[in-house]
């Protein structure tokens, strides 16, 4: 495939725009993790957002969440005002916009926060190797050069595959610094016997997976059996060992946002490193109201315990403009400190192609065909 723009001309970008894009991307580099005010409530029980900086000393920088004893009183007191959540998320894309070199920088940032994923029934080792090659070089070199990006700066946050494909992914990504994530515990339904789910986690870790995406039992949440959910996630955490655990809640099947908030909190108490919205296989996957609910629960946990837990929306995020909305949500609710691969990820398979297409438009002023940006 040709790496030239559709017009046949070399990709070019004004020098000031190149410097502006690099400067904008640098502004999104790691900063001390900050959170907003402890969520106040109005008379309806709505969480009211009020931004302020929290001392970085209140967050254990880089420390892994060890979990805590289950506090049922804290879980039971959680409330979510649906209409207020919908009003808040409805304004995310209307109150501010990200344009020009800032948009390019935010899109490059989104790539570094992406779990490049293939979870299809027809996955093969060859397809996984192609996906890993794309993970190493997610954007064409001519576009990166036009944007003033040095080699090696832009790469995805992780590659996510089924357990059977872990060895192929580990071999293909050797030396890249890109971790391999494996879905586990009877993905996507999570209804396998407990001993089989534990064995699957241990097998993926032994095969070289750095991160394990586990599926919680939705029945525990729907019945309000928080002790059972806590014990389940705690057992999965112990089986993961040094590998980080991402707990998939399948929020589209949890009936209400209150259940989403409570399940997120219980998983964090059990030692989850990430809370994740969906498997991508449900009819309803990552939505902004769910994201806001989970982000504020993450914020409340950080303020109470001092441990920052990651958040991963997954499923249904296909367009660059949708990725920008999620980044705005994270910046406004949790701060730039959370916009790092250690604390925020996109679960996506087709998003990268649209982001690369938007970056080409930024550089050349023209949109290219989607087939010019294959993923694997």
368 DSSP 8-state letter: P
Q: Give the burial class of 57: count Cβ atoms within 10 A of its Cβ; 0-12 exposed, 13-18 middle, 19 or more buried.
A: exposed
Q: How far apart are CA 256 and CA 225, in angstroms?
A: 16
Rama region for 277: left / alpha / beta (φ>0; ψ in -120 to 50; rest): alpha
Kind and range of the H or E element at 312? Answer: strand 310-312
Q: Tokens representing 132?
A: 């890993």
- Grouping H, G, I as helix, E, B as strand and the rest as coil, residue 160 is strand
Q: What is the CA radius of gyration of the chain?
A: 20
CA distances from 299 to 169, 195, 199, 347 (A): 33, 33, 33, 21
344 DSSP 8-state letter: B
Q: Give the catalytic positions in this structure.
A: 213, 276, 312
Q: Tokens representing 196?
A: 């089989």
Q: How far apart are CA 228 and CA 86, in angstroms?
A: 31
Query: Torsions phi, psi of 112, nearest 5?
Result: -70, -15
CB 234 within 8 A of CB 67: yes
At which residue do the structure tokens 């996109």 appear?
A: 346
Q: How far apart are CA 200 and CA 182, in angstroms?
A: 10
How many CB atoms are located within 10 Å of the residue 246 CB?
27
Apex 264 CA angle, 190 and 241, nearest 5: 65
Q: Across the chain, how many H-helices and E-strands are there?
A: 14, 10
């Amino acid at each position: 495939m040709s790496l030239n723009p559709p017009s046949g001309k070399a990709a070019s970008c004004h020098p000031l725009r190149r410097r502006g894009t690099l400067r904008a991307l640098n502004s999104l580099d790691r900063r001390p993790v900050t959170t907003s005010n402890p969520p106040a409530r109005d008379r309806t029980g709505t969480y009211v957002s009020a931004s302020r900086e929290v001392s970085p000393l209140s967050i254990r920088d880089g420390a892994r969440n060890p979990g805590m004893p289950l506090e049922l009183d804290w879980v039971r007191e959680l409330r979510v005002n649906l209409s207020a959540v919908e009003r808040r998320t409805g304004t995310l894309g209307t109150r501010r916009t990200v344009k020009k070199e800032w948009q390019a920088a935010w899109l490059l940032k989104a790539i570094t926060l992406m779990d490049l994923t293939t979870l299809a029934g027809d996955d093969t080792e060859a397809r996984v190797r192609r996906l890993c090659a794309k993970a190493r070089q997610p954007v064409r070199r001519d576009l990166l050069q036009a944007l003033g990006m040095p080699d090696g700066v832009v790469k995805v946050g992780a590659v996510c595959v089924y357990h059977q494909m872990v060895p192929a992914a580990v071999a293909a990504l050797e030396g890249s610094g890109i971790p391999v994530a494996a879905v586990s515990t009877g993905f996507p339904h999570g209804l396998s016997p407990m001993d089989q789910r534990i064995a699957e986690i241990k097998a993926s870790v032994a095969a070289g997976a750095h991160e394990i995406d586990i599926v919680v039992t939705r029945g525990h949440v729907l019945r309000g059996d928080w002790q059972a959910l806590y014990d389940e996630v705690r057992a999965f955490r112990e089986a993961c060992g040094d590998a980080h655990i991402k707990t998939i809640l399948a929020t589209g099947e949890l009936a209400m946002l209150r259940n989403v908030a409570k399940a997120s909190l219980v998983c964090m108490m059990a030692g989850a490193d990430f809370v994740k919205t969906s498997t991508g296989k449900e009819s309803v996957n990552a939505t902004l109201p769910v994201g806001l609910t989970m982000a504020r629960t993450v914020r409340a946990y950080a303020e109470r315990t001092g441990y920052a837990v990651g958040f991963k929306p997954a499923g249904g995020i296909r367009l660059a403009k949708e990725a920008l909305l999620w980044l705005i949500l994270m910046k406004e609710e949790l701060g730039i400190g959370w916009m790092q691969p250690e604390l925020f990820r996109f679960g996506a398979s087709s998003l990268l192609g649209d982001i690369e297409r938007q970056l080409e438009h930024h550089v050349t002023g023209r949109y290219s065909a989607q087939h010019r940006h294959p993923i694997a």
